Amino acid sequence: MAGDPIRQFLDGHLTLTRRHFVQAGLLSAAAAASINADEQQQTQLTEVLQDLEPWLTEQDEFRDVSRGKPKPHSLPEEKRAEVGLTRATWKLNVTSDPENPARILNPLEGDTAFTFDDLMELAKTNVVRFPKVMTCLNIGCPLGNGIWEGVPLRDVIWRTQPSENLRRVFYWGYHNDDPEQMFRSSLPVGRILEDLYDLPPVILCYKLNGDWLTPERGGPVRVVVPEAYGFKSIKWLTNVVLSNLPTANDTYATQNNDVDSPLKTFCATLTPPGNPKPAEPIPVTGYAQSGISGLSKVQVWIQPRDEEWSKDDPHFTKAPWKDATLLPPPDAWGGNLPGGRIPQNTRDFDQSGKPVDWPLRLSKAHWCMLHPGLPAGKYVFRCRTIDANGHAQPMPRPFRKSGHAKIESVRFEVT
């Protein structure tokens, strides 16, 4: 039976010294090799930290949830060239919606369609780079974290010379010329014309982590919406439609998703507690997604499995949560960046490639904790974020169809 003595033990022991945590976060491989043998606990934590995923995800390592039969990126190069999915052949139509026309003077289509050369010309003066985690609203766990490069979508919209009746913009990509396969998304025009709430602009993206966007990531050109879930970031972009429609007409809207939901803040484990022996130290690592409301903390809680919890407190707000350690910016960013360096003029980074703030909003951070050891028994490990407004997960928006925020619980046993 897990009574108060075990609770007291857990409460008293969950925070090992701050020094250990902080040092662990800062340890490089060289420093780790020089750790004293008697600092066994710290060594265990260091080992799991060395296996931690890199901060940036290589293009090929992103999880892919593309639709299409066949998936557009799997088409042979020749076919991709034919349908405009190479840099040499890409063309973007920007036209008025026949059903809800916006008044524009100069549609871009046919001979006047916008080309990759046009895009590169714009990029000479208007390039934008920003970090962003790509997360599927329906899946929840991030598909990858990258530095996305492009030009603001508004620069292309202005070329159509819109003057009136423009309220919404919708857009889609190549879908094997089969209407059934169309996957489209949309935004209020205001979000494209202005950078609200200090966000980066919505871009026509052609590079990821300093390299050309691969076909699998949506190349040659995709939309990237900084604050949104993945379904707004349409791949293999071919069409932008300017509309007087006042409401969302995203494909995801037909799947009961909250299509106006910005990214939420939440965390999960990467190395969960496993199956430790009694009194053996328990290192745990994980990641946190910093959503629209930022990230101030990650907290953890180990509960004996047979403990009852009040139905009045479904989000465990009264549990004895303890702060985990947020890891500082890494020495190496990962992502296969050219020269290993953050590209110049990337938002949130200074000219020397250091982040100006940490953790970065709309991106990822990692965390760790080290528990010195537990008595034999069955437990549940939970972690949660506190966003920069002070809201603990899954608040302030706990609804599943607006994005994942459920508190993760991992069962484990000490034997």
Ligand X SMILES: Nc1nc2c(c(=O)[nH]1)N[C@H]1C(S)=C(S)[C@@H](COP(=O)(O)O)O[C@H]1N2
Judged by the rule CB under 6 A, the positions of this chain that interact with ligand X are 62, 64-67, 134, 136, 143-144, 173, 183, 217-218, 230-231, 233-236
Q: What's the min distance (Å) between Cβ of 252 and ligand X?
A: 7
Q: What's the min distance (Å) between Cβ of 281 and ligand X?
A: 36
Nearer to ligand X, 15 or 59 (CB): 59
Nearer to Mo ion, 160 or 233 (CB): 233
Alpha helices in 57-163 (DSSP H): 77-82, 116-126, 153-157
Q: What's the min distance (Å) between Cβ of 332 and Mo ion?
A: 29
Which does residue 217 touch among Mo ion, ligand X, none (CB within 5 to 8 A, set by kind)? Answer: ligand X
> Could you give the CA distance from residue 348 to residue 128 in angstroms, rounded to a whole number?
12
Nearer to ligand X, 166 or 337 (CB): 337
Nearer to Mo ion, 231 or 367 (CB): 231
Which does residue 234 touch among Mo ion, ligand X, none (CB within 5 to 8 A, set by kind)? Answer: ligand X
Which does residue 66 touch among ligand X, Mo ion, none (CB within 5 to 8 A, set by kind)? Answer: ligand X
Query: Which chain residues interact with Mo ion by CB under 5 A?
Result: 136, 230-231
Evaluate whether 398 touches 260 at the Cβ level (below 8 Å): no
> Could you give the CA distance from residue 356 to residue 22 in angstroms, rounded to a whole number?
20
Which does residue 235 touch among ligand X, Mo ion, none (CB within 5 to 8 A, set by kind)? Answer: ligand X
Nearer to ligand X, 53 or 323 (CB): 53
Cα 230 → chain centroid: 8
Evaluate whether 413 touches 275 at the Cβ level (below 8 Å): yes
| Residue 311: other Cβ atoms inside 10 A | 6
Q: What's the min distance (Å) between Cβ of 284 and ligand X?
A: 27
Nearer to Mo ion, 32 or 136 (CB): 136
Nearer to Mo ion, 231 or 333 (CB): 231
Q: What's the min distance (Å) between Cβ of 234 and ligand X?
A: 4
Q: What's the min distance (Å) between Cβ of 213 and Mo ion?
A: 17
Could you write out the DSSP letters of every residue in 30-86?
HHHHT--TT-HHHHHHHHHHHTSPPSBPPGGGS------SS-GGGS-HHHHHHTT-S
DSSP 121: H
Q: What's the min distance (Å) between Cβ of 247 and Mo ion?
A: 21
Report angle CA 143, 407, 318 to the nearest 5 degrees: 155
Q: How many helices (H) and strands (E) does the chain have?
A: 8, 20
Q: Is 310 exposed, middle or buried (0-12, 13-18, 19+ CB in 10 A)?
A: exposed
Which does residue 121 touch among ligand X, Mo ion, none (CB within 5 to 8 A, set by kind)? Answer: none
Nearer to ligand X, 62 or 170 (CB): 62
Report angle CA 329, 289, 371 to the nearest 5 degrees: 70
Which does residue 401 touch among Mo ion, ligand X, none (CB within 5 to 8 A, set by kind)? Answer: none
Which does residue 236 touch among ligand X, Mo ion, none (CB within 5 to 8 A, set by kind)? Answer: ligand X
Residue nearest to ligand X (CB): 230
| Residue 266: other Cβ atoms inside 10 A | 28
Residues 6+ apart with CB under 8 A from 38: none
Terminal CA-CA length for the chain: 15
Cα 72 → chain centroid: 23
Q: What's the min distance (Å) between Cβ of 143 and Mo ion?
A: 8
Which does residue 134 touch among ligand X, Mo ion, none (CB within 5 to 8 A, set by kind)? Answer: ligand X
